[in-house]
Amino acid sequence: MSRNQTNRTKAGERGQAIVLVLLLLVPLLAIAGLVIDVGYAYYAQRSLQKQADAAALAGASQLPDPNASLTVAKRYGSGSGGKNKQSDIPSVTENVTTKCLSSVPSCSPVNAVVVDETVDVPTLFSRLVGYNSFKVHVRATACSPCGVKPLDIMIVFDRTLSMCMDHNGNMDSSCTDLNNARNGIKSFLGAMNSDDWVGLAEFPPPANLAAKCAAPQTANGEYDSKSSPYVLVPLSKDFVNGGKLVNSSNLVSTVNCTQAGGTTAYANALEAAQAELDKDGRPKVQDVIVFFSDGAANTGPAYYPSTSPYRKQPCHQGVTSAGFAKAKGTLVYSIGYDLNAMNGGANKCQSMSPSGPDESPAITAYQALQQIASNSGTFYNQPAPGQLVTLFQQVAQDIQRGAAGLIDNGTP
């Protein structure tokens, strides 16, 4: 073959190779472009999902108020005017609704918020193969309270004579503080979920369960008898039905009939509350004690020797008894009310009687209740006389806090 023929052959081969490269380049570019466009659509989907999750959770924090829930969810969504709207994801269509989920307790009137977000993500390279845009659709559903973690709760209630006194220690025939406390407890009960169990312990205890609606008969209450029951109502769940209190239930009727009298000794009541949680509480359920008192412990059961900390250090013993419960994993809330009554006299921890010596080492009622609580976040103090309803509502909200959660998220 001559040199000229060889050169023509090689030139022809080079021309064929260029044609083949050009033919392959189109699908390669289309595939590369598709990867880029799909990657951007995936980015948009992941971003929208995060924003929908955030919006649903924010809205759920306002449940069961449907209007507030919708307003807050939209505020944190990706729709027009939402805080989480991203400039690189255009024209998001957002739909926020509230609903009742039968699988979640306490639906009155709604218990869930649903956030749907949709966007048509425009393409660049995929237009070559007929895809002008990709539709991205995400959904997030959050409930509150979700009831995912039921609770066993014992209320420990101070019904001492000071609950029928005013701030200066004068008798109050209307028993204003006691009535406020009753209403506070009932408000607390109304905030519980249908799968929460609640029981009631009181101090001073009655002589027997038949006398639970009577005022204590002695100045020292009925502390001095080992048979006096502190737990008046064991753990129960019949106190609420359809989000409304059942007044005829043992728990609500006992709260309503409670009368005040006697002095203050709360260590045994705390121990009795924990014993009831141990006895009738459900396995793998969070135990909670909600302890309420309006003053310092200043006495103890006479069946203990006079040197016993139950009588000589009643406030310190209350802290110790709460420590037994906390060591078992029980979450303890304490509520102090009007501890500075009688010019601070209600805040003074003394031995064996209101006129006895101060406890040693020194401790105040405020300090005792603070130490009885599991942590600073579970201690509530109302320094002045006033409504107790708000205080109990705050505790109820704190116990249920965190119950809002995502129960469904992802592409529908």
Preceding amide of 301 cis, omega within 30: no
Q: Are residues 173 and 120 in the same domain?
A: no
| 369: pLDDT strictly greater than 80 | yes
Q: Is residue 405 part of a domain?
A: no
Q: Is residue 411 part of a domain?
A: no
Residue 362: predicted pLDDT: 94
Q: Is residue 336 part of a domain?
A: yes
Classify residue 157 as exposed, middle or buried by CB count within 10 Å of its CB (0-12, 13-18, 19+): buried
Q: Are residues 105 and 211 in the same domain?
A: no
Q: Where in the sequence is the domain holding 353, given as residue range(s)? A: 151-400
Among 110, 144, 178, give the residue marking a domain's end. Answer: 144
Task: Give pLDDT tens digits for 224-247.
Answer: 999 999 999 999 999 998 778 999
Q: Are residues 162 and 195 in the same domain?
A: yes
Task: Over range 348-374, report the average pLDDT.
Answer: 88
Residue type, 223: Y
Q: Is residue 410 part of a domain?
A: no
* Weakest mean pLDDT among 10-24, 163-177, 308-322: 10-24
Task: Give pLDDT tens digits for 93-136.
Answer: 889 999 988 766 667 788 889 999 998 888 777 676 677 778 88
Contact between 139 and 412 (Cβ < 8 Å): yes
Q: Are residues 99 and 170 in the same domain?
A: no
Q: Are residues 10 and 29 in the same domain?
A: yes
Among 144, 171, 194, give the residue marking a domain's end. Answer: 144
Q: Is residue 93 part of a domain?
A: yes
Helix axes 3-60, 66-75, angle to 10 degrees: 150
Q: Are residues 73 and 189 in the same domain?
A: no
* CATH number of the domain enclosing 366: 3.40.50.410
Q: Is residue 408 part of a domain?
A: no
Residue 44: predicted pLDDT: 79
DSSP letter assigned to residue 208:
S
pLDDT bracket for residue 382 (50, 70, 90):
confident
Task: Over range 60-76, report the average pLDDT.
Answer: 86
Between 123 and 297, whose confidence is greater?
Answer: 297
Q: Is residue 186 part of a domain?
A: yes
Mean pLDDT of the chain: 85
Q: Are residues 137 and 269 in the same domain?
A: no
Q: Are residues 138 and 170 in the same domain?
A: no
Task: Over range 67-84, report the average pLDDT.
Answer: 82
Q: Are residues 136 and 250 in the same domain?
A: no
